[in-house]
Amino acid sequence: MDVVVAGAHEVRARVKSTGWRDFVVCRRLKCEPDTLPREAPNQHDVVHDDHELASDLDLVVTLPQVLSQRRRSQCEKLRLRFELVERDADLAKIKQRYLSDKELAFVDLEREFNATTDAVVIRLQHQPAWSNVRYVAVIDGRGAKQNRVWFSRWHEIAHLLAEPQIKFVFRRTQAFKREPVERLMDQIAGALAFYEPLFLPSLRRAEIDLARPTLRSLVTFATTACSHASLQATLMAALRHIERPAILIEAKPGLKTSERTAEARRRSRAQPKLRAISTGHNNAALRSRIFVHRNMRVPGDSVIAKVFAGEAHLEFVPHTECLSWWEESGGERLARQPVVVEAMSAGENRVLALCLPEYGETKRS
């Protein structure tokens, strides 16, 4: 749908003909109660005046359009420009464009991108003082990285908001973020990219049961209302609003830290095992001390391992398990906590899983 700039009567006509479910309504349109159709949204569906976005826009827009407008606004304030790489030839074009402006930091641009690099940010050195561009973020959108473009953009915005780094010339963002600062930037980016006053009403309109969500309902929401973002990023955003402890697990074959170190030193070559290469926990899980630590080996009896092994009939089927099945590298097991686990295949050699305490069974370790 195109963005519509409209007065109250135009809003009424457009919304009545298309339905409310796919829209966020800015109160600044000043629609009087008696001019709204009977299907008018409840108070949770309205963006209020005290939010920056509502004060800036007189629009009726879809959720992706609102969030994109919000991103453009932040880029203008930060004097940040994005360059998207969709094919190999794009790198050469971007490099040549900025080298012609004597921006020498772009000389090795092709070599800076590899399988583990999502983005590079360069501070321009030869722009006039009046230029509206100070930083250029080159985002890799080739292949599987295409799904991470939306979040990568917000990650770089988070960096510039949280740590302007006035003197830096070049910064690289890796796909696998192990540094605490990078993980913090991911959290900030998540809050920005899925702005709560817009995202939470969208979850409610989709009739997601935030007390007892299912993985299937969250995936359906992500692929319909938030198709502009990656599935995992949307699931992580939804995780924050689940009312009970919840853990999102991304499982792939990988090595434990000691094995990676030995392989890097060419001392040995270990066989990768299915591990939780990334985990996300909501605040309720942190308060209840319910954790699955990153890089833990997935138990062989878990539905996560079975879905990874190709048992497709088990996808999205809730299974009762116990966190004590998970064992740390030192042999210590997690607390005895019954959990309900749902898993799905998320591409080649990758499984996503939602883990919730068994309903009525939330224990502290």
pLDDT 10s digits, 285-308: 999 999 999 999 999 999 999 999
Q: What is the pLDDT of residue 164?
A: 62
Q: What is the pLDDT of residue 324?
A: 94
Q: What is the pLDDT of residue 306?
A: 97
Q: What is the pLDDT of residue 171?
A: 64
Per-10-residue mean pLDDT of the chain, 365 residues long, equals: 38 42 38 36 38 39 72 90 92 92 89 82 88 91 84 88 62 64 81 86 91 95 87 93 96 85 71 93 93 93 96 95 90 91 93 88 42
Close Cβ partners of 287 (under 8 Å, ≥ 6 residues apart): 245
Q: What is the pLDDT of residue 353?
A: 98
- Cα angle, residue 37 at apex, residues 33 and 40 outer, rounded to 5°: 75
Tokens matching residue 339: 């959990």
In whole angstroms, what is the distance from residue 139 CA to residue 113 CA? 10
- Cα angle, residue 316 at apex, residues 314 and 318 outer, rounded to 5°: 85
As a residue count, the chain comes to: 365
**Which residues, listed in sequence order, are joined to residue 279 by a DSSP beta bridge?**
249
pLDDT tens column, 92-129: 999 999 999 999 889 888 888 877 788 888 889 888 88
Q: What is the pLDDT of residue 160?
A: 86
Tokens matching residue 28: 């600044």
Q: What is the pLDDT of residue 198?
A: 84
Using left for φ > 0, alpha for ψ between -120 and 50, and beta otherwise, residue 269 falls in beta
